[in-house]
Amino acid sequence: MPEIVGVSQRVQVGIEVTPGVVTPANKRLAALSIGPPSPKGDVKMHRALGYLYDTVATTGRQWTEAALAGTATYNELVYPLSSLVRTAAITTPTGATLARQWVFTPSPTGNDPVSTLTVEYGDDNRARSFGFGFVNALDLNLSRETVEIGGSMMGQKMASGITMTPTPTQLDLIPVQGDDVDVFMDALPANIGTTKLLRVFETKLAIGDRADVLWPLNSALPSFAARVEKAPKVELTGRIMADAVGDALNDSLNDNSTRYVRIKAIGPLIEGTIFHSLQLDFAGKLSAVPDLGINGEVLSYSFAFAAVADATLGYPFRLTLVNKLSAL
């Protein structure tokens, strides 16, 4: 009997047509790690009168959780974003043949459709899977050193002893590099992307608590019945030098003003004048007093913006990717 070795475990995903109806996991992720997936559930112990020890164990809800971690790439990012923010509007940029633009725009007032995933995890010796997988939290961490992803996902009850889908396709690995990134901040939505900030040292987009699940009394369901949207917590945090620009940001706390932030990364050329790219447009208000401190020998403010519904932009934030993928 072969040993189950951690280093040989791999992750494959597939897009479900119907949430919870498992599908072949025909894409292999090589930059984004999911898992190891962990089975979760409610177990209650009961002790009858007259016994010193428990006599019965009962189970109720059962589901799967998995952590996300890895390097951000212009291709693989479409999977967690499609499962967390919403399904993308995919178009061909003007003048393009190969390039595609993926736009993820959450509604400030209504529910957003998302893609659910079948996730397979294992190797040729032993594997397991779960369906109705959806990302519930995502961090996009950007610094000059690296651009990384963190987060978590949830799915229905895990199945073990499965055979992994053969010959999955691996997406081209085109990483988002720290030296691809620029940060802009403006006071008016019409000017978003105009004023470049020269001394932002790190920033993070954190999208959390995006959805919950329903647990009806229904013996036909081995796990939860549906995903339901919640009011998410979306923050943009970072660290900026305490120069005149940083001081002005701190002063804006007193006037309830909205700041319009654009973070843009431009990667390798696709064709003509069209490059791989990642863009975040974000409308936010300071949600805490910026903290002043010395970090890496530099006096800087740590800031936190909460995403807000903005009538002019029409959305709290928007993520746009340009790559060569035409579909998930």
Chain segment 196-212, per-residue pLDDT in tens: 999 999 999 999 999 99
pLDDT attached to residue 94 = 95
Neighbours of 187 (CB within 10 A): 14
Residue with tokens 């190797």: 123
How do beta strands 169-170 and 27-28 pair? parallel
Which alpha helices (H) appear in the chain, and where do they start and end? 78-84, 244-251
- Phi/psi for 167 (5° steps) reads 45, 55
Distance CA 138, CA 204 (A): 10
Instruction: State the sign of the Cα–Cα–Cα–Cα dihedral 147, 184, 87, 94.
Output: negative
How many Å is the maximal CA-CA distance in the chain?
Answer: 81
The reported pLDDT for the residue numbered 320 is 98
- Per residue in 78-109, pLDDT tens? 999 999 999 999 999 999 999 999 999 999 99
Q: Do residues 115 and 121 lie in contact, with contact meaning Cβ atoms separated by under 8 Å?
A: no
Indicate whether 255 pLDDT > 90: no
Q: Contacts by 242-249 with C-beta closer than 8 Å and gap 24+?
A: 242/292, 242/299, 242/300, 242/301, 243/199, 245/197, 245/198, 245/199, 246/199, 246/290, 246/300, 246/301, 249/185, 249/286, 249/290, 249/301, 249/303
CB atoms within 10 A of CB 172: 13
Assess contact for 77 and 99: CB atoms under 8 A: no
pLDDT at residue number 111: 92
Contact present, 286 and 279 (Cβ < 8 Å): no
How many residues belong to the chain? 328
- Rounded-to-integer distance, Cα 180 and Cα 144, Å: 9
Q: What's the chain's average pLDDT?
A: 95
- Tens digit of each residue's pLDDT (9 = 90 or more) over 42-92: 999 999 999 999 999 999 999 999 999 999 999 999 999 999 999 999 999
Backbone phi, psi, residue 23, to 5°: -130, 160
What's residue 78's pLDDT? 98
The ranges assigned to domains in the chain are 7-39+59-162+172-323
DSSP-derived letter for residue 241 is E
Q: What is the pLDDT of residue 254?
A: 80
201 close to 298: Cβ distance less than 8 angstroms:
yes
Distance CA 135, CA 74 (A): 18
pLDDT-derived band at 188 (thresholds 50, 70, 90) equals: very high
What integer pLDDT is reported at residue 175 of this predicted model?
A: 97
Average pLDDT over residues 249-274: 91
Asked if residue 250 has pLDDT above 90, the reply is no
pLDDT over 80 at 252, yes or no: no
- 5 pLDDT more than 90: no
Measured in whole angstroms, how far is the alpha carbon of residue 157 from the centre of its chain? 22
